[in-house]
Structure 1
Amino acid sequence: MSTPLVTDDLASGLADQVLTLAESARSEDGVAPLSEHTLLRVRHGAPSGSSRFHVITEDDRVVGFALVERVPGEPDSGEVVVDPAHRGRGHGTALLRSVDRDAGPDGVRVWAHGRTPQAVSVAEGDGWTAVRALHKMRMPLHDIPAGEAGGPWEAPELPEPVLRSDVADSVRVREFVVGQDEEAWLAANALAFADHPEQGQLTLDDLLQREIEDWFDPRGFFLATTKDGKVAAFHWTKTHADGAGLTDGEPVGEVYAVGVVPSWQGSGLGRTLTLAGLQHLRDAGLPWVHLYVDGDNEAAVRLYESLGFGMWDTDVMYAPPGKGHSSA
């Protein structure tokens, strides 16, 4: 069992190898082992004190990797991946124990994306316990014929994204404007996700990094703004060129982030903007759309089910033994 290198600064040569490793694991397992946020940290680096990289190498080649994100007052949040050709050698266990030893004062928790048998076996075999679930839901945007993706699938009818009469005079729905709306969106995002340990902590640098990604399209980023220019709610959509596991390389959509600031909750803005984004993705000709929703967010699950989404898969977060079992 190798001892991981633990560092705040991932050298560029190692970063390139981590990206290659993550792609190899995605191809083997059919699910991405590292989230977009982690991949951006690998590519661009991380703000001082925010992240820790754990790296296992063999013959100068990266064969195991973990990233841990640190958020004050919350358990560290981590992700782990091992090269498919080097599994069964204890690297996954070594990485789990490394992030546990290096954890901040509130401990650490690690995601198993897609609950792959290998990840579940390593985590539970070392005594880690599932403490949080993140559901993955999907919906066809167009009818899928028999023989495709387990079809046939019938796309549901989508209502028009119309503002309720009691809010129509107070807000307007428009597209995000690059170079203008960043600060207003960040303020709304922080309010809407104040209790969310990942989404609510996004910074201007995080947003700017996403704006230069190939998938970023402000035409699919919808804001409900008030007369004084504040963002009351938003729906940010995303297109996955690789199919995100739903198709064999045909682009699909994602409900990337939907947020409503607390003072506007109950106004129907979340549903209206969700529909605006779904209409945008449907009009782009995409066959599928998917999303992630916390397992304990029953209201959101009901909303998405009412629109036609169904359960697809679940990511699970694990905590090490003796660290408590409450949900983050």
Structure 2
Amino acid sequence: MSTPLVTDDLASGLADQVLALSESARRADGVAPLSEHTLLRVRHGAPSGSSRFHVVTEDGRVVGFAFVERVPGEPDSGEVVVGPEYRDRGHGTALLRSVDRDAGPRGVRVWAHGRTPQAVSVAEGDGWTAVRSLYKMRMPLRDIAADEAGGPWTAPELPEPALRPDVAAAVRVREFVVGQDEEAWLAANALAFADHPEQGQLTLDDLLQREVEDWFDPRGFFLATTKEGKVAAFHWTKTHADGAGLTDGEPVGEVYAVGVAPSWQGSGLGRALTLAGLRHLRDAGLPWVHLYVDGDNEAAVRLYESLGFGMWDTDVMYAPPATGDRRPPA
């Protein structure tokens, strides 16, 4: 069982290998093992004290990797990947134990994206238990004949977004303007996701990094703004050029982030902006749209189901066993 290198500053040579390792695992497993946020941290680095990188190497080559984000007042949040050709050598277990030993005062939790059998086996085999679920839902944007995903799929109707008269008089729905709306959006995002350990922590640097990504398109980033210039609600869409596991390379859409400021909840803005974004993705000719939603967010799940989304997959977050309860290595 290898001993990982633990660092808060990932050298560029290692970063390139981690990106290649993640892509290799994505192709083998059909699901990305590292989130977009983690990949951006690997590529651009992380603010001092905010993150930890755990790296396993064999003969100078990166064969396993874990990333952990420090979240104030919350358990650390981590992800782990082991190269397909280097599995069943104890690297996954070594990485899990490394992030556990290195955890902050509230401990650590680690995601298993897509619940792949390998990831579940490693986590549960070391005594880790599931503590949180993130549902992945999908919806066709056009009628799709039967394929390897099942079907046939019939696209639901997407009505024109409509606001109550009082809401329509108080806000304007428009596209995000780069260089103008960053601070207002960050304020609204922090309020809307105050209890969310990942989304609610986004900084200006995080937003600017996403603005230079190939997929970023302000025409698919919808804001409802007040006369005072505050963001009351938003829907940020994303296009995945690689198909995101839904197609064989044809681009698909994502409901990337939908948020409503607390003072505007119950106004209907969330549903209206969600529809605006879905119609934008449909009109762009994309065949599918997907999204992620916390499993315990029943109101959001019901909203998405009412629009035509169905369950697709689930990511599971695992917590380590109590000291002394760990199972012996296989």
TM-score, with structure 2 as normaliser: 0.97
After TM superposition, the structure 1 = structure 2 runs for residues 97-246 of structure 1, keeping only pairs within 5 Å, are 97-147=97-147, 149-246=149-246
Q: Is the 8 A contact 1:138 1:309 kept in 2?
A: yes
Cα distance between partner residues in 1 of 2:43 and 2:152 = 39
Q: Is the 8 A contact 1:133 1:295 kept in 2?
A: yes
TM-superposed CA distance for 1:95, in Å, is 0.1
The percentage of counterpart residues that share the same residue type is 91
Stretches of 4+ moved more than 3 A in 1? none
Q: Cα deviation per residue 1:9-30 (whole Å; 9 max; x = unaligned)? A: 0000000000000000000000
Q: Is the 8 A contact 1:138 1:312 kept in 2?
A: yes
Cα distance between partner residues in 1 of 2:212 and 2:154 = 35
Q: Cα deviation per residue 1:183-227 (whole Å; 9 max; x = unaligned)? A: 000000000000000000000000000000000000000000000
TM-superposed CA distance for 1:151, in Å, is 2.5
TM-superposed CA distance for 1:159, in Å, is 1.2
TM-superposed CA distance for 1:323, in Å, is 8.1
Cα distance between partner residues in 2 of 1:118 and 1:23 = 16
1:283 counterpart = 2:283? yes
Cα distance between partner residues in 2 of 1:248 and 1:98 = 36
Cα distance between partner residues in 2 of 1:302 and 1:29 = 30
What RMSD, in angstroms, separates the aligned Cα atoms of the two structures? 1.9
Secondary structure at the aligned position of 1:168 is classed as: helix
Structure 2 gap segments, 5+ residues each: 325-329
Structure 1 gap segments, 5+ residues each: none
* CA distance 1:169–1:248, change in 2 (3 Å): same
TM-score, with structure 1 as normaliser: 0.98
Q: Is the 8 A contact 1:2 1:56 kept in 2?
A: yes
Q: Is the 8 A contact 1:107 1:323 kept in 2?
A: no
TM-superposed CA distance for 1:166, in Å, is 2.2
Cα distance between partner residues in 2 of 1:150 and 1:249 = 17
Cα distance between partner residues in 1 of 2:313 and 2:56 = 29
TM-superposed CA distance for 1:148, in Å, is 5.9
Aligned residues: 325
Cα distance between partner residues in 1 of 2:240 and 2:162 = 27
TM-superposed CA distance for 1:150, in Å, is 2.0
Secondary structure at the aligned position of 2:315 is classed as: strand
Secondary structure at the aligned position of 2:111 is classed as: strand
TM-superposed CA distance for 1:72, in Å, is 0.9
Structure 2 counterpart of 1:38: 38
Cα distance between partner residues in 2 of 1:323 and 1:109 = 15
TM-superposed CA distance for 1:149, in Å, is 3.5
Q: Cα deviation per residue 1:226-261 (whole Å; 9 max; x = unaligned)? A: 000000000000000000000000000000000000
* Larger displacement relative to structure 2 (157-166 or 249-258): 157-166
Q: Is the 8 A contact 1:149 1:247 kept in 2?
A: no
TM-superposed CA distance for 1:146, in Å, is 2.7
Cα distance between partner residues in 2 of 1:67 and 1:302 = 32
